[in-house]
């Protein structure tokens, strides 16, 4: 049966799975549980073995196995296709976020591009191949992970699962991983990593009519901002360059302080985003910035660097060249025209796998439409991606 990924994508879009991104979880639209329930029912209808892997409350990975011709423990090939279940929030959207709409060859809705479209492709691939003979085909594992948008904890939990080496849906590390983020059906073999943390300055509250009786925490943050700007302009450009991903970056993203305009603020909080080159150590990058700011002689009693709340290495291209060329050939044979093999500045779940297993990023839709106010993905790319990954999986075990 030629299972169509578009209705599946529409089903997924209609199920909110918003990542709270550090906010309080106070509405039914938050977290991935309802999408996981849908995925579980999908696996049950196909009669396949699956594992619901708890990562945190209300957030479970769903991992489904389609057996191949030979058991992976006995020498058979094992291919993992992965996508995440969560989306970014919907504030500011100009379309109904959870009403999937087809118009002008596009599927609109939150997650249509990033990445419920890609997840739907994986489910359609699974359903199509489940109806075929396993002769010559590898064991296929479809993994739908949680919390990609704010921590990659689902992907790291998945990698830990196969490192535990135990019988079940993922009995050993896969021979290759394809992560279906939006790449316009091109191949991403390298991307930057990231480390994010908060800098907190403290002071002493007072009435704004008597500011001399207080200690303004916002003023204390001012010199730190200027110092970070100097670090960004003077230090970061000296930290190397990757031929596919360019240079690292540092950005001050948010700042919050004070409770009212007529109160001297006793606290100010700044969030830092430091993008890393493939191979860079996130903790070392964090330590370097903290040490550099400490040398600027800011009062250590009033400046607190919190531990990173998000940390992920980049995707290295050291292991995945053969995999990328093989998939690019399948893309070319399926749709015609060469697939671009390149690097990008953003991060994905692939970083959790790529240091150990050949891993590439490939999927329908463009990153330019991800997180947008009218998010959409081309329907034709959903269908083509499904054909490409079906063909690639069939031929992977050869």
Quick: pLDDT tens for 78-111. Answer: 999 999 999 999 999 999 999 999 999 999 999 9
- With cut-offs at 50, 70 and 90, classify the pLDDT of residue 165: low
Q: Positive or negative CA dihedral for 147, 39, 383, 132? A: positive
Instruction: Report the distance separating Cα 68 and Cα 92, nearest Å.
Output: 45
Calculate the alpha carbon distances from 178 to 210, 212, 216, 296, 341 in Å. 61, 59, 50, 44, 14
pLDDT of residue 398: 67
Please tell us whether the domain made up of 193-312 is placed in CATH 3.30.70.360.
Answer: yes
What architecture is the 5-191+314-396 domain classified under in CATH?
3-Layer(aba) Sandwich (3.40)
Closest CA to 66 of 5, 119, 12, 127: 127
Is the CB of residue 229 less than 8 Å from the CB of residue 272? no
- With cut-offs at 50, 70 and 90, classify the pLDDT of residue 169: confident
Domain ranges, ordered by start, for the chain:
5-191+314-396, 193-312
Interacting residues of 16 by C-beta distance below 8 A, sequence separation 6+: 28, 29, 30, 34, 87, 97, 98, 110
Q: Distance from CA of residue 320 to its chain's centroid? A: 19
- This prediction has a pTM of 0.95
Helices H / strands E in the chain, number of each: 8, 18
- Tell me the residue length of the chain: 398
Q: Helix (H, G, I), strand (E, B), or coil: what is residue 373?
A: coil
Q: With 0-12 CB in 10 A as exposed, 13-18 as middle and 19+ as buried, what is 297?
A: exposed
Whether 5-191+314-396 and 193-312 share one fold: the answer is no
Q: Helix (H, G, I), strand (E, B), or coil: what is residue 194?
A: strand
pLDDT of residue 237: 96
């Amino acid at each position: 049966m030629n299972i169509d990924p578009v209705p599946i994508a529409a089903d997924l879009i209609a199920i909110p799975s918003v990542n709270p991104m550090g906010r309080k979880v106070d509405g039914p639209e938050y977290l991935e549980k309802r999408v996981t329930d849908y995925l579980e029912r999908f696996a049950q209808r196909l009669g396949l073995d699956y594992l619901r892997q708890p990562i945190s409350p209300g957030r479970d990975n769903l991992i489904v196995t389609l057996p191949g011709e030979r058991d992976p423990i006995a020498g058979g090939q094992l291919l993992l296709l992965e996508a995440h279940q969560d989306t970014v929030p919907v504030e500011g959207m100009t379309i109904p976020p959870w009403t999937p709409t087809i118009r002008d060859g596009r599927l609109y809705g939150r997650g249509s591009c990033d990445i419920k479209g890609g997840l739907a492709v994986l489910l359609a691939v699974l359903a199509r191949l489940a109806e075929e003979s396993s002769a010559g085909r590898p064991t296929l594992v479809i993994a739908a992970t949680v919390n990609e948008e704010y921590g990659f904890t689902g992907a790291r939990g998945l990698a830990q699962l196969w490192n535990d080496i135990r019988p079940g849906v993922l009995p050993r590390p896969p021979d290759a991983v394809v992560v279906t983020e939006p790449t316009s059906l091109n191949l991403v073999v390298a991307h930057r990593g990231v480390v994010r943390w908060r800098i907190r300055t403290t002071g002493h509250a007072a009435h704004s009519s008597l500011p001399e009786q207080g200690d303004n925490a916002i003023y204390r943050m001012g010199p730190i901002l200027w110092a970070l700007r100097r670090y960004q302009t003077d230090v970061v450009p000296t930290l190397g360059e990757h031929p596919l991903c360019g240079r690292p970056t540092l950005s001050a993203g948010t700042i919050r302080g004070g409770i009212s305009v007529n109160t001297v603020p006793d606290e100010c909080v700044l969030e830092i985003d430091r993008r890393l080159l493939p191979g860079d150590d996130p903790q070392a990058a964090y330590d370097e910035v903290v040490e550099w700011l400490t040398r600027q002689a800011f009062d250590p009693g009033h400046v607190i660097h919190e531990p990173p709340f998000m940390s992920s290495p980049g995707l290295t291209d050291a292991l995945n060249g053969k995999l990328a060329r093989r998939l690019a050939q399948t893309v070319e044979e399926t749709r015609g025209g060469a697939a671009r093999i390149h690097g990008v500045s953003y991060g994905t779940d692939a970083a959790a796998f790529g240091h150990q297993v050949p891993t590439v990023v490939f999927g329908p839709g463009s990153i330019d439409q991800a997180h947008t106010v009218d998010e959409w993905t081309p329907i034709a790319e959903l269908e083509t991606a499904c054909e490409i990954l079906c063909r690639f999986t069939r031929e992977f075990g050869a």
